[in-house]
Structure 1
Amino acid sequence: MPHSGSSTMRRAVARMSGRMPELADRLAAQILAGEEYRRPAELRDDLWQVCRIGLTHGVESILEPGRGRTDLEWAARLGRRRAEQGQPLDRLLRGYRLAGCVFWEAVVDAVAQDEPESVPALVRHATRTWHTIDEQSTAASAAYHRTVYDLLRRSEERSQAVLDALLEGNGTDATLLAAAAEVLDLPEHGRYAVVVASGPEPPIREAWPVDGLRLLWRVRADTQVALAVLGGADLDDLVAALRPHVRVPAGVSPVVESLADLAGARRLADLARRAAGEGVVLLDRKLPDALVLSQPRLAARLGQVALGPVLEVEDGYRDVLLDTLGTWLDCDGSTARAAALLYCHPNTVLNRLRRVERLTGRDLAKPRDMIELALALSATRLLP
């Protein structure tokens, strides 16, 4: 008399439980037959063990359901292991599909040999069997994805830690240099620059492509710092690539040729950022302002000594005198150009400059006095 599909399945599985090594051989051979590469011997041995353990857990879940779903626990462990080994997910899922085929064929053979009258009932049980295989595949896939995410997160954290260490001044540490080569693909010697941009939000996403350049961004509390791997590009190429995307003040350091020099380059880029006013600027084009910012106490003293009498003029006229002096300096000493920018007559510009000279005791016709007043003006504008 035919039996139910589930009881027929349990009896067949009980009879084949001693054939696990043989079934593992069959499954491993089918998996390897469809792969385009030759595994090392130790990986073939690992595959055979995985096949045997997986099939054994599947048998146990049918014969001893009270023990829980050990097959799903094993699937999750296997998913984690394959992710850690860097094997593709589709290879793992293909293994489960083949395992389902090998297991089902073995069950059908066992029933056809010992209980041929129960084969129709067993066939009706096939949907449940494949549902179990699907559950195992899902458990393995979920664990695989979680592990990949964790590995990527740890890798990203390590990359950021290495980048931070380089930018903070540990570029001479041999271990750090080895980590930079491994994690960031940065040789000890190359062509590098550092970019520092203002603001709490990244001006550019880390994945933003820059033709011919490579940017590694690090988000700080109030600034964004990037290590620029220049390759064959120059600083003008870098600035041109940044400008369409950066809407905040940003400074670019000079080129350095060693990871050990990145911390110094970061400090110089920050000085350029503070001197920028707006947009992206190169440090080398803001050196006087950067010099003032690098020595704030001395620069503040210069501003007080050189421009002190002007600073004591009533607020409205003081600002007029300082703006006129600054505009005239920006116009390379051209009174006509300064007047056009200030919307006044050239004689008005000359009168204001003469007032500055009388108040300060400096002569703008003398290079030394003009340099002193220019640096003093930068100090009053850039320092609190």
Structure 2
Amino acid sequence: MGGRRPRTGHDWKLLAESCAALLERLPELVDEHVGQLTEYSPVYGQVLPYDQQWREAETAMRIGIEAISAPRDSPRRDLEHAEEAGRRRAHQGLPLELLVHAYRAAGYLVWDALMESAAGREPERLAVLMRCATMVWSAVDAQAATASESYLATERELRRRTDEQLQALLDALLEGQETPGLAARAAAGLDLPEHGPYAVVVLRTERHDGRDGCVRPVLGAGLRFIWRMRADCEIAVVALDAGQGLDEVARLLDGRRSGPGGISPVVSGLGELGRARRWAELALRTCPPDATGVVRLDRRMPTALVVSQPELAGRLVSDVFGALLELEPGDRAVLIETLDMWLACEGSAGRAAGRLYCHRNTVFNRLRRLEQLTSRSLARPRDLIEMTLALDAYRLAGAPTTTGPGR
């Protein structure tokens, strides 16, 4: 035990006699102790049936009383029992504050009983107990501290196991597994409705920050995000409320990321998260290498069709831009950028000229040259579609599209 020991053999003998007499009254003390705990908080009785609570309290108090008068080099049975009690209470879900209170309450009860046994008897016995007070309360403190440390360690382990279980459930959903009951178990574990509007977000990350595998629930703008960290990306399941849409998701994420991200269309339940993840990944693939924004798949469908067929996309670039690709890099970049800006300005040469810092006629001349090189007309819808898709494929291949203002 911690604390000071009695200084004489006679003191030790009197203390041992007092503890032995106390053990004879143990059932009475346990009755009082259990009654006090139940009066202090009904949770004690809710966690354990009365008979089990009484037996465990009797064992703990007996070991504690025996430890007070045990020889100096005796094994610390009281601390071994406190360590086990801390683990047990953590598994049972008893709040830590109530565990510590139980040790303190038992300590007060034992000390009062020891003092009562010396009252009216020889003053020497009372003096011995007073000299032992520090030792007795140090033992109670050590027991409470050991139980608390064991409780917290067990709680951390339980939390880790729970997190691993949630990770496995969430990963199974995101992989599209169709195990019976999977969505229901995940809904219960993640505290989410099994059916309802959901979306998945995939964000590209450039480095692994050590958070791989953690499940992080985050609230924002009335939305609930359940994040999974991976080595090369972050994936979020987004629970949407009625009336909420993907615009809120995009606004919340856009501008807060250094890299690009993709958002899936809305799906109707946890069982469809696998499909939503694939859609979000496809949306992310529509972002050029230097992109920083978060994009929605439902607004990038043509580009998504291009990236979902990389072999055909490469063939499209060759067929449409073949002659263009043979130009000098600077010349080619000017024409590509002009087409890109003209499309961004919805076919307005004047607006494109203002953003390109050139004359309106310069834009027309570049577009005419582009038509000659591609053998296509921007006035024909089918040709325009081909050139637009070829431009998307070209950009997504990592080719530069800008040369900067002031050419």
Quick one: structure 1 residues 234 and 206, their matched pair in 2 at CA, closer, same or farther if it must change by over 3 Å? same
> Per-residue displacement from partner, 1:131-169 (whole Å, max 9, x unpaired)?
110110000111111111111111112112211111111
Match of 1:46 in 2: 52
The runs of 4+ residues in structure 1 deviating greater than 6 Å are none
1:165 maps to what in 2?
172
Superposition pairs of residues 279-318 of structure 1, within 5 angstroms: 279-318=293-332
Q: Which AA in structure 2 matches 1:226?
A: A
Aligned twin of 1:270: 281
Show the 5 A alignment for 1:126-165. Answer: 126-165=133-172
Query: Could you give the per-residue CA deviations for residues 102-131 of structure 1, whole angstroms, max 9, x where no partner exists?
Result: 211222233346655421221221121111
Q: Distance in 1 between matches of 2:48 and 2:350?
A: 84
Check 1:210–1:104 CA distance in 2 against 1; reply closer, same or farther (3 A cut).
same
Q: CA deviation at 1:187?
A: 2.7
CA-to-aligned-CA distance 1:58-95 (integer Å, 9 cap, x gap): 13323443441100011111111111111111111111
> Aligned with 2:258: secondary structure?
coil
Give SS of 1:216's match.
strand
- Tell me if 1:214 matches 2:224: yes
Structure 1 partner of 2:404: none
Q: Report the AA paired with residue 299 of structure 1.
A: A
- Once the two structures are TM-superposed, the CA of residue 16 in structure 1 deviates from its matched residue by 2.8
Match for 1:325: what amino acid?
Answer: L
Whether the 8 Å CA contact 2:324–2:373 is kept in 1: the answer is yes
Change (3 A) 1:164 1:40: closer
Task: For residue 213 of structure 1, report the CA deviation from its aligned partner.
Answer: 0.7
Which of 386, 391, 402 is the matching residue for 1:377?
391
Deviates more, 1:89-98 or 1:274-283: 274-283
Alignment of 1:4-43 (within 5 A): 4-36=10-42, 39=45, 43=49
Secondary structure of the structure 1 residue equivalent to 2:262: strand
Q: Is the aligned partner of 1:329 residue 2:336?
A: no
In 1, the alpha carbon distance for the partners of 2:120 and 2:79 equals: 30
Structure 1 spans left out of the alignment, 5+ residues: none
- The aligned counterpart of 2:246 is 235
* Equivalent residue number for residue 60 of structure 1: 66
Opposite residue 175 of structure 2, the aligned amino acid is: E
| 1:333–1:57 distance in 2 versus 1, CA, 3 Å | same
Change (3 A) 1:185 1:198: same
Cα distance per residue 1:168-215 (max 9 Å; x no partner)? 111x32232232122112333210001111113689x94543021100
Task: Confirm or deny: 8 A CA contact 1:335 1:346 kept in the other structure.
Answer: yes
Whole-angstrom CA distance in 2 between matches of 1:73 and 1:26: 24
How far apart are the structure 1 equivalents of 2:47 and 2:249? 50
Distance 1:326 1:20, change over 3 A: same
**Structure 2: which amino acid aligns with 1:376?**
A
Structure 2 CA distance, aligned partners of 1:44 and 1:253? 53
1:197 equivalent among 197, 200, 203: 203
Q: Deviations over 1:300-325 (max 9, x none)?
A: 11111111111111211111111111
Pair 1:80-2:58 in alignment: no
Query: Residue 28 of structure 1 aligns to which amino acid in structure 2?
Result: V
Alpha-carbon distance between aligned partners in 2 of 1:206 and 1:182, rounded to the nearest angstrom: 16
Which residue number corresponds to residue 105 of structure 1? 112
Q: Distance in 2 between matches of 1:41 and 1:71?
A: 23
Q: 3-state SS of the aligned residue for 1:209? A: strand
Cα distance, 1:3–1:118 mapped onto 2, change above 3 Å: farther
- Check whether the contact 2:15–2:69 (CA below 8 A) recurs between aligned residues: no
Question: Does structure 1 retain, via aligned residues, the 8 Å contact 2:203–2:235?
Answer: yes
- 1:125 corresponds to 2:136: no
Give identity over the alignment, percent: 45
Q: What are the superposed Cα offsets for residues 235-268 of structure 1, whole Å, 9 maximum, x if unpaired?
A: 1111122225333211111100022221121121
Q: Is the 8 A contact 2:204 2:261 kept in 1?
A: yes
Provide the secondary structure at the position in 1 that maps to 2:378. Answer: coil
Residues 135 and 245 of structure 1, relative CA distance in 2, 3 Å threshold: same
Q: Matched residues in 1 for 2:355 and 2:10: separation?
A: 97
The worse-fitting range, judged by mean Cα deviation, of 143-152 and 103-112 is: 103-112
> Structure 1: how far apart are the matches of 2:359 and 2:262?
36
Runs (5+) with no aligned partner, structure 2: 1-7, 399-407
Higher alpha-carbon deviation: 363-372 or 34-43: 34-43
Equivalent-residue separation in structure 2 for 1:381 and 1:99 (angstroms): 74
Once the two structures are superposed, residues 321-357 of structure 1 have per-residue CA deviations (whole angstroms, 9 ceiling, x without a partner) of 1111111111111111111111111211111111111
Residue 49 of structure 1 and its aligned partner are, at CA, apart by 1.2
CA distance in 2, matches of 1:42, 1:220: 41
Letter in 1 for 2:371: E
Structure 2 contact 303–392 (Cα < 8 Å) conserved: yes
SS at match of 2:286: helix
1:91 to 74, 79, 98: 98
Return the alpha-carbon distance in structure 2 between the equivalents of residues 114 and 41 of structure 1.
41
Match of 1:224 in 2: 234
**Aligned positions, number:** 381
Residues 195 and 226, structure 1, Cα contact 8 Å, conserved in 2: yes
Q: What amino acid does structure 1 have at the position aligned with 2:102?
A: G
- SS of 1:340 mapped into structure 2: helix
Structure number with higher helix proportion? 1
